[in-house]
Structure 1
């Protein structure tokens, strides 16, 4: 598959020539040209995402760390008469064994090239899709997932697991225990593909799937370019998909998953919760079965009490009817999720909806349009009482999304360095609760894996 030549540098690196096999055999000349285009930033994007998967399993959540460790790394994509070739220059030696690239790493690398090529052509400036409409955006999400070949018309069995990349050892062990119980019941796992609560459920499920002799298993990781460098894919992911932005990533989770489990996490997890609750609180989705469970070890009970309190204050008590909290009981979590997915199956059959893509859930344009967290955009978010719960949820989601950007996304980090912290304004009680929640995340070290955290935000009543 590849040939590698060791180089004499500070960190071990190699040059390699790789020939993809299966799923990414050919690209058009136009697609290759787009991936090489320096003027549009596409080549830099390809380089950053490729380096992230070549350092798969990294414990860092600093998006600049890998580039600083491997400043001379580069990637070239070539289309040849008999297929495709990828040339790696000064690539991390950790991705190779005895001169051969690790097979799983190679598959993730091919996924990067595949998804960025597809996005550049089918979702670029000349795209035939109408990305200003709800149907157009949903069709784009479907197209990217289909191109990644992960939409399979099998019985509903995909559980999405959300949670933090920076969690305690106790919480990580618990995510593995839940994943194990899910795997024993024949359920596959989909996460944000990174470390922590994104890796644990997959790791637990691998043992359970082996016990049950299930060999066609799916460990799906869905990410986006702004975050992959900070949360490089964990080694268990066997299907990687890179969506163009966080909004399409979130929609992919909701359209593909048959149920969602939320483990303890930080601002990214809060963003995901608010996104999903905002959708489920719409009248159009009132009767839609969608199992949603918040869970963690017994020590996580105060964490979920604070999350629950924040949701009640902002979105109202009706929002709490869309989820249940189960603490310290992995077996019960898996049983409840299995029962919930059976109801999803019955509903899909009755509505003649597909098992592999949830077309019937209503996701409005306000949840689909990409939010660019500038200082101006963050300051004008309407975080006040009196709004419809799903509308308030949309702006609360944007507030947390902005903090995620300031914490781990390079564009957001640059804005903070240049202009200082984002300011978030709203009603006094809401801001007090938000500030308390964010302070708890900081104190519990949920914002960053290592190092002292410096807030990228300021809450203003």
Structure 2
């Protein structure tokens, strides 16, 4: 990894993203198919956020990202993808008003949250878990402004939340930092949190 290249990626992305305001970032699996009900939920959320005045940021790929971007693209606000070059499964979805491609996960992750006013996590794998833990760590250490962290689908996230609860019990994590996480099971709950905590 070249520090010069990473710096150039960050600067280029900053120039393209800094004028977007009221942004919400949606994370989730690239492998979820259109036939999955959760794909429909992500599409609906993207559209509702967009029509409410929020731009939607995603990783720009397929699955949850594509669903969220499609909904946002069909709404009133902007649909923005921050993609990354990977050997498998990651090509840009066609529902983007702005598409930025990164070489490095580091710079991409920075930009997915730097201009975001809320972070919403749909079910996903290693990448989604990595992005969640990154944001929690940044907030815990006050390296990032506090924004709503919303996990969608309580059943899916229950095992991870149980593990975090154990870390709280052992004082590895402060309860106040565990309580940064909001767990919901409906799009209406997400919209209520965003609209009450993210001012337009």
Same fold (TM over 0.5): yes
Q: How many residues align?
A: 192
Cα offsets for 1:410-445 (capped at 9, x unmatched): xxxxxxxxxxxxxxxxxxxxxxxxxxxxxxxxxxxx
Residue 193 of structure 1 aligns to a residue whose secondary structure is coil
Map of 1:144 onto structure 2: 12
**TM-score when normalising by structure 2:** 0.84
Q: Residue 150 of structure 2: SS of its match in structure 1? A: strand
In structure 2, the residue matched to 1:333 is 190
Return the structure number with greater relative CO, CA threshold 8 A, min gap 6. 2
**1-side partners of 2:109 and 2:101: how far apart?**
12
Aligned counterparts of 1:277 and 1:157: Cα–Cα separation in 2: 20
1:268-314 deviations in Å (ceiling 9; x for gaps):
111111111111111555xx331111113xxxx32111121123334
Give secondary structure in 2 for the equivalent of 1:279. helix
1:174 alignment counterpart: 41
Residue matched to 2:57: 190
Shift of the alpha carbon at 1:166?
1.7
Structure 2: give runs of 5+ residues left out of the alignment: none
User: What residue number does 2:4 align with?
Assistant: 123
Question: Do structure 1's residue 165 and structure 2's residue 18 form an aligned pair?
Answer: no
TM-score (norm 1): 0.39
Instruction: Give the C-alpha shift of residue 229 in structure 1.
Output: 4.7
- The 1-side partners of 2:142 and 2:78 are apart by 33
How far is 1:337 from its partner? Answer: 1.1
| CA RMSD in angstroms, aligned pairs only | 2.4
| Matches for 1:236-247 after TM superposition, within 5 Å | 236-247=95-106
In the other structure, the counterpart of 1:291 is 148
Q: 2:72 aligns with which of 205, 218, 229?
A: 205
Q: Which residue of 2 aligns with 1:407?
A: none
Residue of structure 1 in register with 2:79 after alignment: 219
2:157 aligns with: 304
SS in 2 for 1:165: coil
Question: What CA distance in whole angstroms lies between the structure 2 residues aligned with 1:284 and 1:243?
Answer: 22
Give the Cα–Cα distance (whole angstroms) in 2 for the partners of residues 248 and 123 of structure 1: 12
Q: In the aligned structure 1, how far is the partner of 2:148 from the partner of 2:88?
A: 31
Give the 3 Å change call, closer, same or farther, for CA 249–228 of structure 1 in structure 2.
farther
User: Residue deviations 1:81-140, cap 9 Å, x none?
Assistant: xxxxxxxxxxxxxxxxxxxxxxxxxxxxxxxxxxxxxxx9x934xxxxxx7xxxxx5xx5
Contact 1:260-1:293 within 8 A present in 2 as well: yes
Q: Please give the alpha-carbon distance, in whole angstroms, between the structure 2 residues aligned to 1:197 and 1:291.
A: 19
1:278 matched to 2:137? The reply is yes
What's the offset of the Cα at 1:265?
A: 0.6
Paired with 1:161 and 1:228, the residues of 2 have a C-alpha distance of 23
Q: Do the aligned partners of 1:183 and 1:205 also contact (CA within 8 Å) in 2?
A: yes
* TM-aligned CA deviation for residue 198 of structure 1: 0.5
In the alignment, structure 1 residue 266 sits paired with structure 2 residue 125: yes
Q: CA deviation at 1:192?
A: 0.6
**3-state SS, counterpart of residue 145 of structure 1:** helix
Query: d(CA) in 2 for partners of 1:313 and 1:151?
Result: 39
SS at match of 1:259: strand
Contact 2:82-2:101 at 8 Å conserved across structures = yes
Offset at 1:205?
A: 2.5
Q: Do the aligned partners of 1:312 and 1:319 also contact (CA within 8 Å) in 2?
A: no
SS at match of 2:17: coil
